[in-house]
Amino acid sequence: MIATLAPDEAGVFYPYFSTCADARFVILLALLYWRYEYMGRLAEHAAKLTLIVFLMLTTSYVACASTPKQRAEERNRELQRQYEAQRYKQYKYQRTHPMERRGTVPPGLSQILTRTFDYHSNVPSMIDVKLLTDGCDQRDCVTAIDLPHFDSVVNTSYLQEGDLLIVVEYQGEIRAYPHTVLNIHEVVNDRFGDTPVLVSYCPLTGAGTAFYAQVNGLPAEFGVSGMLYNSSRVLYDRSNNNLWDQISGEALVGKFAGQVLTPLPVRTLTWSQLKQYYPKARVLQVEVNQMAKLRDVTNQFANYRQSERIYFPVANKDRTQHPKMMVYGIYHNGQSLAISESYLQQKPVVERDFNGDMVRIQRNRDGSIQAILKQTKQPLAVTQLYWFAWYNTHTETDLLIPRSP
């Protein structure tokens, strides 16, 4: 189809064109024309037909050849078109069905939740949606990285020795995602071979996580919703507009509410540790014009980490501990545990019973923290983050801290 009609936000239709599809459509029309008009006079029009075929092939190549950046832009345009078409379907439904079928919109909710995600009382939810707050003015105010570019450790020059990185090892490949980059992007939609992987970092909670990016059994891409829950970033999947907790990987709001993404174990290392222990790792790269911004934002969040101030509302506060105390959180078999950095410095190996499963938590030679099921040697996900964030996600958690002298 050379053009489709999609409504804008005011309900006005406009044509949507796909350049590559248009080129192929024109070629098809030209071939049909040639078939019926010139097939019987091939010798007479050979030169003219050769020129036509050449022009058609050139047009197709120019229209369909694209750089990775252009493909990403085209994909984003297509996602936006689908989103607008979906909004129009919802608009038609609301016009033809009684309001009570759709549900009501309680007052005092997030503007992004009600306007962009079209929330109403019939939408499934695992949380009190009144606790969702707007962290910025719109969805995707923080832009996710959809086509990540990696380079070797040797060729990476923009990092400093103490900079932290999220390290993911999967299918024999090691990739590192610097906090300095994720401070301004927060989400990376990556692929290890054919496996889609979501890597995310929230500078407000210090939480770096990775999950298999599959929703209801299908590959999914994620973005930044613009909302926060207990001062933690809320993500959304682009296919269904479900809202997801960045720390636990649980769907908070939407038709898949209650589903949980499968976590991937990650390690948090400094740049000097990565260079020493994983010299063959691939490191996420950044455009040159962003480097000054990276360092400025990193310095701002370093100051935030030292203070006790939490920028956005949280439901639960533990006034006995510093809210930004760094802990390592483990959730397994219905039980959660947080271990402070200072505790692991004194006791680098901890064994703990998680409702019948013995788990060994240890500091590795590279400086990272690892949790392993003792019986099966299966690694478990360990999340490094601020205490206030883990406490609000797992209010029944145990906490290991050094004893007071």
CA distance 393 to 245: 9
Band (pLDDT 50/70/90 cuts) for residue 74 is confident
Q: Is the pLDDT assigned to residue 35 strictly greater than 50? A: yes
Could you tell me the pLDDT band of residue 94, with boundaries at 50, 70 and 90?
very low
Q: Is the pLDDT of residue 131 over 80?
A: yes
- Confidence class of residue 326 from pLDDT cuts 50, 70 and 90? very high
Determine the pLDDT at residue 6.
41
CB 240 within 8 A of CB 210: no
pLDDT, mean over the chain: 84
Query: Are 165 and 276 contacting, i.e. CB atoms less than 8 angstroms apart?
Result: no
Instruction: Give the residue-averaged pLDDT of 332-355.
Output: 95
What is the tens place of the pLDDT at every residue in 255-303? 999 999 999 999 999 999 999 999 999 999 998 777 778 888 888 888 8
- Cα distance between residue 211 and residue 52, in whole Å: 51
Which pLDDT value is given to residue 89? 55
Of 8-22, 58-72, 82-96, 272-286, the range with the lowest mean pLDDT is 8-22
* b/e 119-152 (16+ beta carbons within 10 angstroms → b): beeebebebebebbbbbeeebbebebbbebebee
Higher pLDDT, residue 138 or 63: 138
Mean pLDDT of 89-111: 56
Residues listed for the chain:
405
Predicted model pTM: 0.74
- What is the tens place of the pLDDT at every residue in 134-159? 999 999 999 999 999 999 999 999 99
Cα–Cα distance measured from residue 244 to residue 256, given in angstroms and rounded to the nearest whole number: 10
Yes or no: say if 257 and 127 are a contact pair by the CB < 8 Å rule.
Answer: no
What pLDDT is stored for residue 293 in this prediction?
Answer: 81
